[in-house]
Amino acid sequence: MKNIKVMIVDDSAVVRQVLTGSLSGHAGIEVIGSAADPLFAMDKMNREWPDVIVLDVEMPRMDGISFLKKLMAERPTPVVICSTLTEKGAATTMEAMAAGAVAIITKPQGNLRQFLVDATEELVNAIKAAAQAKIRKLAAPPPAAPPKLSADAILPAASSSSAMTRTTERVVALGTSTGGTQALEYVLTALPRVCPGIVIVQHMPERFTAAFAERLNNLCQIEVREARHGDRVIPGRALIAPGGRHMLLKRSGAQYMVDVVDGPPVSRHKPSVDVLFRSTARAAGANATGIIMTGMGDDGARGLREMYEAGALTLGQDEASCVVYGMPKEARKLDAVSREISLEQIPAYILRGDR
């Protein structure tokens, strides 16, 4: 197989030097150039176009987001964001992900040289995933139809305590990784306020999940927020597992809530989709819908199989609409997927819950 050609765009000479040296030592990766800002980068790229760009977001002359938008409009190319781990940087990086970047690597503010050496394997994996990504412009989400209200909008229906113990609300568990930020934005912005409660694992570093949830909350009709320990899962709310923590679905009587816990990485990830899906199988059983979406690797495949065996509706995003058809493919291999559907069909399945 031919080498993956990489361009590094970062205003730090240390970052450019260390990344070039670290990546050049890996078989299958060729650093064809580096540049201090996007304008220098474009001049070099026009002579030899890279397969993947490693891009900082805060740079002189042209910021990374403007450069990314220009790239996606003129010549879509996989981009890995390499950003400083700060609250401000997290919000900026989320804007870059929404513009089409496929992965995030975080840089600390101190001891940068050693970190970049230690993080080489993580970056190599991100570059390999990005090289496989199908970069495409997502369709605009369909306008959400106004909810058809019933008398429930004014007062609750009569119920007995025994009915409450026998039935529970539907809950939807979503798992995704590479390409998931755009895919989740498409799905969640298409949902009306009246929809099942949703729990989500998106592979993403610490601090970035809060900025991601805040961005989605500003775009969506439903409430979207980073999960906190003990949060209730209720209709019209989506909870996103915080980076660096696992999220488990729990049930108390007829109510769902989440536990946010520490622990080792599962399937090499924290948060892990497998952990969320297994807990959903145990807590919700046939009242749940599990959806595995675009991403590299196999996290979530075994957990989705457990949901399937518990009677849940299990859905996999199809290859044509995935940025990376990795996680759904692995779930399909385990016969964990009841039905494969396109990204555009996912909102309707969330609302219907049909088998």
Dig out the tokens for 43 from the structure. 């001049």
Q: Which residues, listed in sequence order, are joined to residue 341 by a DSSP beta bridge?
A: 317
CA separation for the pair 352, 293 (Å, rounded): 18
Local structure of 77: helix, strand or coil: coil
* Catalytic residue flag (residue 66): no
Query: Taking a C-beta distance cutoff of 8 angstroms, is the pair 200, 301 a contact?
Result: no
3-class secondary structure, 333: helix
Which of 26, 203, 246, 269 is catalytic? The answer is: 203
d(CA 118, CA 141) in angstroms, rounded, equals 40
Helices 208-219 and 87-98, axial angle in degrees (round to 10): 50
Pairing mode of beta strands 246-252, 255-261: antiparallel
Tell which residue, 218, 253, 216, 254, has the closest CA to residue 235: 254
Q: Of 177, 272, 279, 321, which residue is the catalytic one? A: 177
Q: 95: which 2 tokens?
A: 């804007």
d(CA 93, CA 99): 10
Whether 26 sits among the annotated catalytic residues: the reply is no
Confirm whether 229 is a catalytic residue.
no
User: What are the catalytic residues?
Assistant: 177, 203, 299
